[in-house]
Amino acid sequence: MKEKLLGFLLLVFTGAYAQIPIEGFEQAFPPAGWTITDNGIGAGESWSQIPLGSPALPPYAGNYAAYILGEDVPTGTAEDWLISPAIMVPPNGTISFYSRLFQNNNQGSLYRMMITVGDPQDLSAYTLLQQWTETEINPSQTTYTQKIVSIPSVYTGAQVHIAFVLVTDDGDGWLVDEVSVTEGCVQPLNVMISEVTGTELTVSWEDAPGVSDYEIIILPAGVPFTGNEQGVIATSNPYIFTGLTEDSVYQVYIRSLCPQGGVSEWAGPVYSGILTGNTLTGTVTFDADGDGDCDEGDIVPFVPIAVNIDGLFAYYTYTDMNGEYTLYNIEDGESTIILQPEPQSFFPTVEAVTVSVNFDGSVTEETADICLPQPESIIDAAITLTPVIAARPGFQAYYNLTVRNNGSMPLSNVTATVTFDDNRFDYTLSEGNSAATGNTITFTIGDLNAFAAEHYMIDLYTLAPPVNVGGEVVSFNLEVMHDETDDNPDDNTAVTQQTIINSWDPNDIIVHEGPEILLEQADDYLTYTIRFQNTGTASAINVRLENELEEKLDWDTFQPIAASHDYTVNREEGDLEFLFNDINLPDDESDEPGSHGFVTYRIKPQSTVVLGDIFYNGAGIFFDFNEPVITNTAETEIVAETSGLTDALQNKISVYPNPVVNYLNINTDGSKLHTITIYDLNGRKCLTGSGEKIDVSSLRAGLYLAEVTTQNGTSVFKLVKQ
């Protein structure tokens, strides 16, 4: 397999953009065009070439690799940079490399991939593409793992420098080998296990464009996946695995082997059954009064926990609304499991918990509770409204209101309000101590303990046409109030948008912020709800949701918010898995109101997003052993405040030269020019003018956006300043 995969990697794309040759660091170091530098802190270590034949510093391929050791600096944090020569970014460009660390477990280093179109020695001009912790970049830390990073489309056609940056203070080091930039290789979609018969398992998928070869890895469920396992090359779809153990649960991963060179990211895991069997469970509590002990009622919901099994990073799991977590399908026999809680930043450093288990057949469940130390005193109330079912003209619509104390201190005299459009809805009823006055529903909640939450259902009648018509968007304004001074008042208010629809698929995904956000809103969270309904003929014992997050979202900011039923959630990089085990969801004919379920979470965009970026999100819903129900795709685009950009307008307006050094010319093809505004990629206004030529010589070299407004509308162009 290795020879065949290497052959794919060494192919050259014969279109307009050639694959950048693989840099294996086999010649003099640094290689031609590459440079090394640092931030001036901790000059004791720098990027180097590994010694020939060193067992402690092995290459991935060939004889050499690049490496940097971590170091303990007296003050600050060391940053060591390995910078590439100029590279032309191809369409759908990706950076591929192999990564390895030196030590197991998390020593605290961060690993960054940076990019710039400016002076490669101006470190302030770089933009972050992706950042990893030690366990994220290398789940098996002393084994090489291939990493693939997508380059934003705004850089297509530009000359860029990429940089590998180790950020450390007494953390682990980094080994990097086989670096290349290629035209993007697309993942296979809708991967599913379509049939399980005895010792055979059939995998099918939707082919990626132009791809005929795939690599597939199959593992027993519960075995940590690293991406370095021995896979098989599949040239037919579907593919049948034989010789498996009957009645066992397996996990499958698949990636494309593209003809132009390179491989896609792994798609998966997809499981051959609902995960059951050996489990490790526990409750996470915190020391509320500083006496060194955790009381039973002081739970902490939605805490990320990094799970390491027998020396390999497996995945992140999260505590539920009751502060409980569950690890499913742990291998039979003895295992050492390390649980590293990663609570909010106002907690002090939390020590990892090591658990030794032995599932010998007589024992199938172990327990390990976790006690977090006393946190700082933080006041933080938040509010969220989840549409439980769609709003259809002439039908009832149901909503779940969640009021949460995200802080470590109790809240007093909490009230919440929901304001709706009473021209479109009639109020029916709401739970709790609530009352409706006009178009405002007020909830009197009282005191709310640290990390606690209250949930209330709201029932509104969606007025029939012509008042409501499919496709129209309605908004709900939310506010939570309390006696204390809030440390984070931004989440005391929220706006939820919902689209009125005529027909309705009850299994869907929605984004609360709507189809468009402004660039300044991209620093905040996007809130998603996955809704499901059992429309079968019998109750569903288990429900599983699989949700793949795209790379424009910052996976580490994922936060669960609310759900209709008890569940567990695991995250492996950008792959989310929600498990509603033993949900016993009734079918809609037996109990229509009870046949619905949902889960709501929020996540932030990456800091590198720009105007025009679109966030796509979809999910697969598994009811017991049935094939998945694939949801719609929720879309949110970052737009300029002035909308109305059309292809026709874009074609009539041009800016030149591009790249530009001193003066930028604007051709409006006879339209009256109002303004030309230059923004950087963070949305900051840099220059503005109203003439057909603007002096840009004062701008630092880099990538910008030029917004041209005429009598006919607004166009936005990517601009490279040299």
Q: Is 4 helix (H, G, I), strand (E, B) or coil?
A: helix
* Residue whose C-alpha is closest to residue 405's, from 341, 494, 350, 482: 482
Render pLDDT for 406-433 as a digit per residue (tens, 0 to 9).
999 999 999 999 999 988 899 999 999 9
What CA–CA distance (Å, rounded) separates 8 from 146? 14
Cβ distance 35 to 153 under 8 Å? no
* Residue whose C-alpha is closest to residue 425's, from 442, 438, 443: 438
Q: Is 713 exposed, middle or buried (0-12, 13-18, 19+ CB in 10 A)?
A: middle
H or E element that contains 648: helix 647-652
Residues in the chain, pLDDT under 50: 1-19, 276, 642-651
In the prediction, which pLDDT does 270 show? Answer: 84
- Can you give the three-state secondary structure of 309-357, one letter per residue? ECCEEEEEEECCCCCEEEECCCCCEEEEEEEEECCCCCCCCCCCEEEEE
Q: Which residues of 396-416 are buried (b: 16+ CB within 10 A; e: fewer)?
A: ebbbbbbbbbbbbbbbeebbb
Q: Is 363 helix (H, G, I), strand (E, B) or coil?
A: coil
CA dist 206 → 106, 190, 201, 470 (Å): 37, 6, 17, 31
Question: What are the two backbone dihedrals, phi and then psi, of residue 327, each rounded to the nearest 5 degrees?
Answer: -100, 125
- Can you give the three-state secondary structure of 604-623, one letter per residue? CECCCCCCCCEEEECEEEEE
Question: What are the two backbone dihedrals, phi and then psi, of residue 116, each rounded to the nearest 5 degrees?
Answer: -150, 150
What CA–CA distance (Å, rounded) separates 181 from 261? 10
In the prediction, which pLDDT does 21 show? Answer: 59
Cβ distance 687 to 696 under 8 Å? yes
In the prediction, which pLDDT does 15 show? Answer: 33
In the prediction, which pLDDT does 70 show? Answer: 87
Which residue's entry shows tokens 């802080």? 407
Cβ distance 100 to 684 under 8 Å? no
In the prediction, which pLDDT does 371 show? Answer: 96
In the prediction, which pLDDT does 677 show? Answer: 87
All structural domains of the chain: 2-183 (2.60.120.200), 189-271 (2.60.40.10), 279-372 (2.60.40.10), 377-504 (2.60.40.1510), 506-639 (2.60.40.740), 647-721 (2.60.40.3080)
Residues with Cβ within 8 Å of 371's Cβ and at least 6 positions away in sequence, in order, are 285, 286, 287, 293, 294
Give the angle subtended at the CA of 119 by the CAs of 66 and 606, to the nearest 5°.
Answer: 75
Render pLDDT for 659-716 as a digit per residue (tens, 0 to 9).
888 888 888 777 788 888 887 765 677 888 888 888 988 888 877 778 888 876 677 7
CA 503 vs. chain centroid, Å, equals 30
The 425-430 sheet, strands edge to edge: 381-387, 396-405, 453-462, 425-430
In the prediction, which pLDDT does 18 show? Answer: 38
Computed on alpha carbons and rounded to an integer, the radius of gyration of the chain in Å comes to 27
In the prediction, which pLDDT does 22 show? Answer: 76
In the prediction, which pLDDT does 264 show? Answer: 82
